[in-house]
Structure 1
Amino acid sequence: MPRRIYIFDTTLRDGEQSPGVSLMQHEKLEIARQLARLGVDVIEAGFPIASPGEAEAVKLIAEQVGTADGPVIAALARAVKQDIDVAGEALKPAKKKRIHTFIATSDIHMQYKLKMTREQVLEAAINAVKWARNYTDDVEFSAEDATRSDPEFLCQVFEAAIDAGATTINIPDTVGYALPHEFGQLVRTVVERVPNIHKVQFISVHCHNDLGLAVANSLAGIMAGANQVECTINGIGERAGNTSLEEVVMAIYCRHQVLDCYTNIRHDQIIRTSRLVSDLTGMPVQPNKAIVGANAFRHESGIHQHGVLSNPLTYEIIDPKVVGLPGSGIVLGKHSGRHALEAKLKELGYQLTKEQLNEVFKRFKELADRKKYITDADLESLVADTVHAVPADEVVYHLDYMHVVSGKGTVPTATVRIRKDGNELLASETGVGPIDAVYRTIAKLVEEPHRLVDFQVRSVGPGTDAVADVVVRVEDEQGNIFIGHGISPDTIEAATKAYLQAINRLAYYHRRRIPAPQRGGEV
């Protein structure tokens, strides 16, 4: 019988460790809900000891997503009692919970990072697993930097961790160092040399992508006996990222006869999940990204086009509909009504509340007056800009008016009027370009100390009326990053909206005194 491969998603923990990514609690919850719809088996919700805000986010997900029929909710903890205590408390509301504790086992990590002997590491691993069992019977133990560890010592640590009560052992390629044949051999070594390996429920692999081999190594691990893969949506994560969930899942789907295994992932939710994570993290998906990239199912070559028109199997190994790319059955424009918009959004995988739909419909009509046709990509950006913004009643700064003068031989000048607490604020500034002038003016008007650290603009769709989708990142005085989205056929307007949204998110964060999320815990 084919083996089931369990999917352990760490987008909200390892994925959020991507440089420049910082999710708010309600955003982490939204992603967790979508991961549950996707059908992942385990959601690693975070690293609770990192900050009070991180612990609260894990607890929120445990309460609202950790239902009896939902996924296991996991939290990361170093092999330290305090870490495990905080993780255990955060996970309490979950019906199914797992504490994931780890310690490095490579000589380089033990000598230079931990400054511990092998004997001390072995003792710490045993104590951590035993302590975690006070909170749950489901305990995962990871040997950080396993691929650069002495295999004999690695097996010794795993054997001790299993004796202490670990129900999952995880073999991480923490720095993405291994080649597929090496990683497969390491997994086989663990399976063959750890005498009590039969006592664990899962043999897990956790691969990083520093050499672009994370998916290949994960598949090699599966073929060597692993039955759990740790991965992230869009492959985001530290440095070059983690194993891409969509790639490893679809490799299993397409080549199940060779791999002799399957997952319980709902494939038609893959595109929806990818876009949600991209929107909320502000990390665009490269066009040539496998499975979820914009070009993944596009054909420009005449030979390819002819082949696909004759039979899609000539150049498509996956039916786009399998991963959630629907056919374009509804064409939306300024004459389209609310029902057509709602139907199209549902087709794209969005389930909006009545209030959210009303706001998106209002914005849709404004955009439709300026464009002949509204594309799927326009709608994706519109939802991201509308639904994922700061709650309407929490917005501090409202844009009332903006006027920009720019052109050859002129000094770019912007005049901006915003409202704050019912008061109008007006200012003008010059800049090296029109967007720079607008940003200097807004910075002069707002009271929130901040620094612009990133600005990205892309065209959504073809033609001169294409929507500009602008993403900006601003940083507060504590180094926390806040992301803003803005869309409009007018690039300057889109840039202005994005900048103000980021500032409003910063203001929202500080006014509600939400502890800032912090990153930690490398596995």
Structure 2
Amino acid sequence: MRKRKIEIYDTTLRDGEQAPGNSMSIDMKLKYFEQISSIGVDYIEAGYPTSNRCDYEVCRIISYERERPTLVVFSRPTLQDILTSSECIVNKENVQLQLLLSVSDLHIEKKRKYSLDDAVFETIEGCKLAREYGFTDISLGLEDASRASKKNLKAIIEAGIEHGANTIVFADTVGCATPKSVDDSVRYIRSLVGNERKVSCHFHDDLGLATANALSAIEAGVDILQTTLLGIGERCGNTALEQISAITKYKSENIGAYIDINFNRLAEVCFELGEDLNIPLSPNRPIVGKNAFTTAAGIHINGILKDRSVYEYVHPEDFGRKLSFCFTKHSGYTLIKKILNDNDVLPSENQLKLIYEEAMKRCYKSSSIEPGDFMEIYNELFGRIQVDVEDYGLVCI
């Protein structure tokens, strides 16, 4: 099967920053533009210049750089927004302007309080103004597209294409889409735009389906996925770059697509962002969680020590992380025996039992135990000189 490349559009610096507590300074946004660039994404949305001076300056400074991913600037389809964006982008080479458009009846009638004809006119005028002010790469961000009728989508998309739009963005703004509805929508949009223009998708995670919806979009033929590091963003956040990347890495043959990024840098940048923004990471979060590559159950430890593939599908080394073991009441004797054997100690079954009992006592008292502690216990119980032990990662209860 011939595999397609899925381009990554990272919006950590725009949508990701919108979540409470995620505000970034100019220096911090510039720092993470470089960090995200080092991961190898294709587009980075740096901000909304009209909304605040910080975003204006960040976009202005980045526009001078020549060796970088495509810089994306967020804008409403108004003269004021497009003029401001044009003024701050000194060099428009390799720059995309994303226009925010209302497409659902709910947004058109309740939010904007105008008609579909007005929405179409706004689309046309926005594209014309963008071209007039020097933007050659224009994407249409179809806000609330997951609740829009096909009639609305068709009218606005066709108007945008006719007046120079290059990319159509299906936005699940309130996170209400499901994989089946995404499949239907992406295929419908593709039928309108053909293969000469790109289809992009932006998902929110309000129902916990952002990653599943992104996978559905890939299988339906989308060209670009909009993501954020750690899935940060408005309300419940967006499609997490580290999660959808892992899926494409291990399932590329099944889905006929791949993402070309630096996987080894991904977790490191996520950890740094989480620390800078003081974002607590769930221990069981895929790829970046503390427990993502830590094993405690004795049955699992036993299998992994024989062959890691027995209980390991996602490899920690692929993401710059390490396998580790955690000693708990569920761990049994396997880990203890392994550490002792690797240090030329061959305990009897009775000795293992005594070491295990002592280790459990220490765990309950101090809440943690390290690999070297097993040798120390052996020495105390059986009088043997302790030797250095290998690094088995964090061992705790």
Please report the TM-score for the alignment, with normalisation by the length of structure 2. 0.79
Q: Distance in 2 between matches of 1:313 and 1:126?
A: 55
> What is the aligned counterpart of 2:270 among 274, 280, 291?
274
Residue 143 of structure 2 corresponds to residue 144 of structure 1? yes
Q: Structure 2: which 5+ residue stretches go unaligned?
A: 325-393
Q: Is the 8 A contact 2:187 2:221 kept in 1?
A: yes
Deviation string, structure 1 residues 321-359 (Cα, Å, up to 9, x no partner): 11111589xxxxxxxxxxxxxxxxxxxxxxxxxxxxxxx
2: CA distance between counterparts of 1:2 and 1:157?
A: 31
CA displacement at 1:87 relative to structure 2: 1.7
Q: Secondary structure at the match of 2:285?
A: coil
The 8 Å contact of residues 92 and 134 in structure 2, kept in 1 or not, is answered as no
Aligned to 2:98: 100
Q: Is the 8 A contact 2:201 2:214 kept in 1?
A: yes
Partner of 1:60: 61
Gap change, CA 1:117 and 1:29, over 3 Å in 2: same
Bigger strand share = 1
Pairing of 1:76-475 with structure 2 (within 5 A):
76-93=74-91, 95-133=93-131, 134-192=133-191, 194=192, 196-200=193-197, 202-325=198-321
Cα 1:185–1:117, aligned 2, differ >3 Å: closer, same or farther? same
Structure 2 counterpart of 1:39: 40
Deviation at 1:189, TM superposition (A): 1.4
The whole-number CA distance in structure 1 between the counterparts of 2:158 and 2:23 is: 37
Deviation at 1:94, TM superposition (A): 5.7
Q: Which amino acid aligns with 1:208?
A: H
State the Cα distance separating 1:81 from its structure 2 match: 1.6
Any idea what SS the aligned residue of 2:100 has? strand
For 1:276 and 1:75, the matched residues in 2 are separated by 24
One-letter amino acid of the counterpart of residue 143, structure 1: L
- In structure 1, what is the Cα distance between the partners aligned to 2:152 and 2:92? 34
Distance in 1 (CA, whole Å) between partners of 2:86 and 2:200 is 21
Q: Equivalent residue of 2:114, what SS?
A: coil
CA distance in 2, matches of 1:322, 1:75: 32
* 1:283 Cα deviation from its structure 2 partner: 1.3
**Preserved CA contact (<8 Å) 1:74 1:91:** no
SS of 1:250 mapped into structure 2: helix
Distance 1:325 1:62 in 2: 34
Counterparts of 1:9-24 in structure 2 under 5 Å? 9-24=10-25
Query: 2: CA distance between counterparts of 1:213 and 1:224?
Result: 16
1:60 is displaced (CA, Å) by 2.2
Residues in 2 aligned to 1:87 and 1:325: alpha-carbon distance in whole angstroms: 40
Structure 2 residue aligned with 1:29: 30
SS at match of 1:123: helix
The question of whether the paired residues in 2 share the 8 Å contact of 1:288 and 1:296 is answered with yes
Task: Tell me the matched-pair count.
Answer: 328
Counterpart of 2:251, as a letter, is R
| Separation in 2, partners of 1:173, 1:274 | 24
Instruction: Provide the secondary structure at the position in 2 that maps to 1:199.
Output: coil
SS in 1 for 2:312: coil
Larger Rg: 2
The residue identity in structure 1 corresponding to 2:200 is S
For the Cα contact (< 8 Å) 2:104–2:145, is it kept in 1?
yes
Map Cα deviations across residues 273-301 of structure 1 (whole Å, 9 max, x no partner): 10121122221221111111111111111
Q: TM-score w.r.t. structure 1 length?
A: 0.60
Q: Is the 8 A contact 1:232 1:245 kept in 2?
A: yes
231-240 or 89-98, which moves further after superposition?
A: 89-98
Number of the residue aligned with 1:335: none
Paired with 2:177 and 2:262, the residues of 1 have a C-alpha distance of 30
Give me the whole-angstrom Cα distance separating, in 2, the residues matched to 1:21 and 1:210. 18
Q: How far apart are residue 123 of structure 1 and its match?
A: 0.6
Q: Is the 8 A contact 1:102 1:125 kept in 2?
A: no
Indicate the SS of the match to 1:172: strand
